[in-house]
Amino acid sequence: MAEISLNNINKVYGDDFHAIHDLSFDIRDGEFMVFVGPSGCGKSTALRMVAGLETITSGTLTVGGRVVNEVDPKDRDVAMVFQSYALYPHKSVRENIAFPLLMAKVPKPEIDRRVEEAAEILELTAHLDRKPGKLSGGQRQRVAMGRAIVRQPAAFLMDEPLSNLDAKLRVQMRAEIASLQRRLGVTTIYVTHDQVEAMTMGDRVAVMKAGRLQQVDTPQALYNRPDNVFVAAFIGSPSMNLYEAELDGRTLTLGTNSFDIPDAVFEKRPSLAGAQKRPVIVGIRPEHMDDADVRPASAQIRARVTLVEALGAESMVHLAIDAPWVDAGDPDAVGEIGDGKAAVARFSPKSGVAAGDTATVAIEAEELHFFDPETRLSIW
Amino acid sequence: MTERRFVYLMLAPAALFLGLLVAYPVGLLVFNSFFTVETITPDVREWVGFENYIDALTSSRIADSAWRTVKYSVFALGFELIFGFCAALLFSAIAEKSRWHRTIFALPLMVPPIVAGLLWRFLLVGQIGILNYGLAAIGLIDDPGDIRWLSDADIVIYSVAFADIWLTTSFVALVAYAGLTNIPRDLIEAARVDGANALKRFWHVTLPLLRPVIAVIIIVRGVDAAKTFDLIWIQTQGGPRNQSEVFSMNIYQRMVRFGDLGEASASATLFLIVMLVLAGIAYWKIWRPSHD
Ligand SMILES: Nc1ncnc2c1ncn2[C@@H]1O[C@H](COP(=O)(O)OP(=O)(O)OP(=O)(O)O)[C@@H](O)[C@H]1O
Ligand SMILES: [Mg+2]
């Protein structure tokens, strides 16, 4: 068990492709750290550098206080779970799990004991003598986990280990991996592009975009205090709605609508105070909007309803808001919201709005997020 | 059913072809092996039952040539596998940059065996063999006449294999390289993280995953080496004192020089059976992925 620390890590592929820019943060001993970000942002590259499978172009990487930049993967004492599971197809489940111990020259009886133990934990005992090819996806995933946990390594490194499973199994394994990690207390880096996985599993989450770290914090803090537009939109599902707006004194103008911002917001974000016709990007989470007929609020806007998705416990209402829509730069987010430009609101199921109506929407104005249109950073 | 009929229809030309070009000659071969037939008068047959087979199985010259064939094949195949795999591993280590090396390395594949045989004959033969001058120049032997590669009865069967090794190591290397590139990179990386060094990765991951490839090489090259004729004939004609006469050459001699078509047919039939059995064993033991 060990803490892992990255200091100004850079990765350049070939001569000119800069995949990772100045990545720096510490992962505490026993912590479950999630790397999340859209496809191609460099999560796998970062993880593979920690594993030693990819060279580090510049910067220092320490595991348990030891600089490991030049240390061979086999001597780094880390275990890795691959997206493809990378099970040895010609070896039985038992031999697969035992392999790292065999390489470490652990005595045979000890290997047997530890393999049995890992199999017990992962409910693989009945399958120990089968080949991976005969197992289901979920079982293969467990074997890959087993191969990692038998070693009692300094760290677990997992690269999208659940992405080949169906949705239901994924939810189940998500909980199992998280609880297994807590039980074993081994420092873990977990790569995913699924922000729900990131939020539910991680002690802390590092959000990356285009090779740069955007923010690293607890899931709750990322949700409540995103540092920039990208993190704001990436964390939370459905995504935060982002529009260009104008703040004049305490009046926010959003397209043809305007309403007053409560004092609580100015206390939380003092630099917003005294704004004069200041352009801002305003962020509204879907859960902070509701049908004004059901739950009125002091801040209200009028918007046309384009689509209603009734989910029973809530209704996802798509709204055409007549202010300029802001692209947060998350390639995965577009499309998730239909035409990409509609706002999504979580209405109470009691709401009677239908597509084509013009609804009065109540906004919890104290929960609004504000960003600078130039820097795209949060205004605090 | 119609689909099945269609399949049969599509197979028919190939089946016909095989029937004409393989089944008929093989049938004739087996048929002839039960008769005494002269090569010059193949219509005149005298039924002798298994006599040809008994003669073949008890002949010491045939037994010797069979044993020599084994020595030749094992020697050639062994070195081809070792050199071929080393080259393939080297190619995959330098990966993309190996394209030119691979192309140049494949050149011997285009050389006809006769030419290769002649070439090696010049390199090895008696007093003029260039190889010995080279060895003498670097001090490995005292005099160019010290090693009589093609006329020393003890080593000639191995010397004639050099040409084979030179000619087909590249085939083994290319097939092995193709096999290597088919191994998922994840598996090798997993083994690295699991603590395996290069040697252990090769032994525990690469080699087992190359089993089918190795089987193909052993079957194709093994059968090929065992039936070699031209390459050896051009170098030694089976000499000295028949010490480089392999099985195929023995059959040829029996048929052409001694004109004994019946006995040659019996030997050939035996040869065919042995090759089939060996290929079968190689197929079952190595190629088939373990099924459990
Ligand atoms: N071996 C390589 N050579 C050149 N470029 C590479 C190499 N591996 C990755 N890249 C590039 O580096 C960037 C980051 O890749 P990486 O695999 O880390 O992304 P990722 O965040 O894991 O994405 P995904 O979610 O799709 O797995 C990508 O733009 C990719 O094209
Ligand atoms: Mg990846």
Measured CA angle at A378 (ends A302, A216), to 5 deg: 125
pLDDT for B57 beyond 80: yes
Q: Has residue B11 got a pLDDT over 70?
A: yes
Q: Which amino acid is at B56?
A: A
Asked if pLDDT for residue B241 goes beyond 90, the answer is: no
The whole-angstrom separation of Cα A304 and Cα A324 is: 15
Sheet containing A66-67: give its strands across. Answer: A17-27, A4-13, A58-63, A66-67
Distance CA B41, CA B52 (A): 18
Distance CA A320, CA B121 (A): 87
- Per-residue pLDDT band at B288 (split at 50, 70, 90): low
Q: Give the other-Cβ count within 10 Å of A201's Cβ.
A: 24
Question: Quick check: B96 contacting A, CB < 8 Å?
Answer: no
The whole-angstrom separation of Cα A26 and Cα A12 is 22
Nearest CA to A241 out of A191, A288, A284, A201 is that of A284
pLDDT in tens, B198-240: 999 999 999 999 988 888 888 888 888 988 888 888 888 877 8
Which two tokens mark B91? 């190619």
Residue with tokens 């071929």: B84
Whether A337 has a pLDDT exceeding 60, the answer reads no
CB atoms within 10 A of CB B108: 17
Task: State the ipTM, two decimals.
Answer: 0.87
B209: chain A residues, CB-CB within 8 Å: 89-90
Closest residue to A53, CB basis, from B192, B200, B205: B192
The most confident of A90-94, A326-330, B151-155, by mean pLDDT: A90-94
Please state, in angstroms and rounded to a whole number, the distance separating the CA atoms of residues A115 and A99.
10
Taking an 8 Å cut-off on Cβ atoms, the answer to whether B204 and A147 are in contact is no
Q: Stretch A87-100: mean pLDDT, rounded?
A: 95
**pLDDT at A336 (0 to 100):** 45
Domains annotated on chain A, with CATH: 4-234 (3.40.50.300), 241-371 (2.40.50.140)
Q: Which amino acid is at A278?
A: R
Report CB contact under 8 Å: A84, B192: no
* Fold topology of B48-110+162-287: MetI-like fold (1.10.3720)
Query: What is the per-residue pLDDT across A6-55, written as a single tens digit (0 to 9) for each?
Result: 999 999 998 889 999 999 999 999 999 999 999 999 999 999 999 999 99
Residues B31-42 have pLDDT tens digits of: 888 888 777 777
Place of tokens 């074993």: A184
Give mean pLDDT, residues B18-22: 86
Closest CA to A324 of A207, A244, A248: A244
Q: A340 pLDDT exceeds 70?
A: no
Predicted model pTM? 0.83
Q: What does the pLDDT average to over A336-358?
A: 81
CA A120 – CA B4 distance, rounded (Å)? 49
pLDDT at A189 over 80: yes
Backbone angles phi, psi at B197, to 5 degrees: -80, 180
**Which residues on chain A are in Cβ contact (under 8 Å) with B292?**
131
Mutate-to-test residue for ligand 1 from A10, A44, A80, A208, highest number of ligand atoms within 8 A of CB: A44
Q: How would residue B292 be classed by pLDDT, with cut points 50, 70 and 90?
A: very low
Radius of gyration of chain B from Cα atoms?
23
Ligand 1 within 6 A of A36 CB?
no
A38 touches ligand 1 (CB under 6 Å): no
- Say if strands A32-36 and A204-209 run parallel, antiparallel, or are unpaired: parallel
Would you state the structure tokens that stand for residue B103, as one six-digit string? 């192309």
- Give which of B249, B261, B79 is closest to B164, Cα–Cα: B79
Taking the Cβ of residue B209 and every Cβ of chain A, the question of whether any pair is shorter than 8 Å is answered with yes
Residues of chain B with pLDDT > 70, as a percent, come to 95
Contacts of B195 in chain A (CB under 8 A): 74-75, 100, 103-104
